Amino acid sequence: MAVGVFDSGLGGLTVLDALQQRLPQVPFVYYGDNAHTPYGVRDADDIFALTCAGVERLWAEGCDLVIIACNTASAVALKRMQETWLPPGKRALGVFVPLIEALTERQWGDNSPPREVAVKHVALFATPATVSSRAFQRELAYRAIGVDVEAQPCGGVVDAIEQGDEILAEALVRSHVDALKRRMPHPEAAILGCTHYPLVQKTFQDALGPQVKVFSQANLVAESLADYLTRRPEMLGTGTRSVNLTTGNPAQVSARATQFLRKGVKFEAA
């Protein structure tokens, strides 16, 4: 009954942690492609190929349903996977839709026409590939009208987190927030459009100010998955073990994951 969680590196662990707390009875298999991180500077074909390889590895662990916990992969590869690649009986779900449903105050699975919402000025912080894909704006347009989105590509932040350099990561966050605020001085809400960014969420909030509501994905994705599995229990796969897999060096990745999550995390070679 295992569910897979795919990410380009460490960021998806923020989603995994929320999923495990919300669904403690479900075994989760995490796959971090640390050998190829960051995805945010790669081209679309490369991201697609790497994501498909990771999802296939999760299928081998008995995960018929995979959460694409990497925003870049969700933005760049997921739609193509769903339309051209996924076989019958397999599903891959992304992390944008639950976030947008929360931002627009819509119920899970609400597919009614787009309407005006309370929030009009939204800052989006994401990887360069996610920003250039405009996937967030496209999904938002399905659900809301009249929302101004200013997107800031946050080069270097994922690298700094993956390398365990918290000081550099926090300095880069402040620089990127300053750059966005020069273009949108008074955002009402901010979207952390990368699952690595909750690891430096406090820095984002401090730089933006207390008046800006910061939306992060982990708990929203967990609630959305719980709802999905209530409606589609047949998507629980045959896998029975919970394990963290990495394409990187397991000892190094375990140490960095433990440092950022501030609890013991153990990885095995994928």
Q: 180 and 263 in one domain?
A: no
The per-residue DSSP string of 136-171 comes to HHHHHHTTEES-EEEEEE-TTHHHHHHTT-HHHHHH
For residue 243, what are the β-bridge partners?
29
Q: 242: pLDDT confidence band, cut at 50, 70 and 90?
A: very high
* Rounded-to-integer distance, Cα 15 and Cα 195, Å: 7
Token pair listed for 91: 């599903």
The per-residue pLDDT for range 67-109, each reduced to its tens digit, is: 999 999 999 999 999 999 999 999 999 998 888 888 888 876 6
Query: Which ranges of 164-232 would DSSP assign to H, the alpha helix?
Result: 166-183, 201-208, 218-231
Tell me: do 153 and 186 sit in the same domain.
Answer: yes
- CB–CB of 4/55 below 8 Å? yes
The single-letter code of the amino acid at 261 is: L
Provide the pLDDT confidence category of residue 260 given band limits of 50, 70 and 90: confident
Q: Give 13-52 pLDDT, tens digit per residue.
A: 999 999 999 999 999 999 999 999 999 989 999 999 999 9
- Same-domain pairing of 249 and 207: no
The CATH number of the domain holding residue 123 is: 3.40.50.1860
Residue 155's domain comprises 97-215
Cβ atoms within 10 Å, residue 178:
11
Q: In the prediction, which pLDDT does 109 show? A: 66
pLDDT for position 8: 94
For 44-61, what is each residue's pLDDT tens digit?
999 999 999 999 999 999
Angle value at C-alpha 162, between 23 and 56, nearest 5 degrees: 55
Q: Above 80 in pLDDT, residue 158?
A: yes
Question: Are residue 211 and residue 101 in the same domain, yes or no?
Answer: yes
Q: Are the CB atoms for 165 and 171 separated by under 8 Å?
A: no
Number of domains the chain is built from: 2
Q: What pLDDT shows up at residue 85?
A: 98
Rounded average pLDDT over 172-188: 98
Distance, in Å, from the CA atom of 97 to the CA atom of 48, rounded to the nearest integer, reads 19
Looking at the fold, whether 34 and 82 belong to one and the same domain comes out as: yes
Those residues whose C-beta lies under 8 Å from the C-beta of residue 46, and which sit 6 or more positions away, are none
Domain shared by 210 and 241, yes or no: no
- The CA distance from 142 to 17, in Å, is 29
110 with 176, same domain: the answer is yes
Are residue 83 and residue 103 in the same domain, yes or no?
no
Catalytic residues: 70, 194
What is the chain's mean pLDDT, rounded? Answer: 93
pLDDT of residue 240: 93
Q: In sequence order, which residues have a C-beta less than 8 Å from that of residue 14 and are 6 or more positions away?
A: 195, 196, 198, 199, 216, 217, 218, 261
What pLDDT is attached to residue 102?
87
Quote the pLDDT of residue 108. Answer: 60
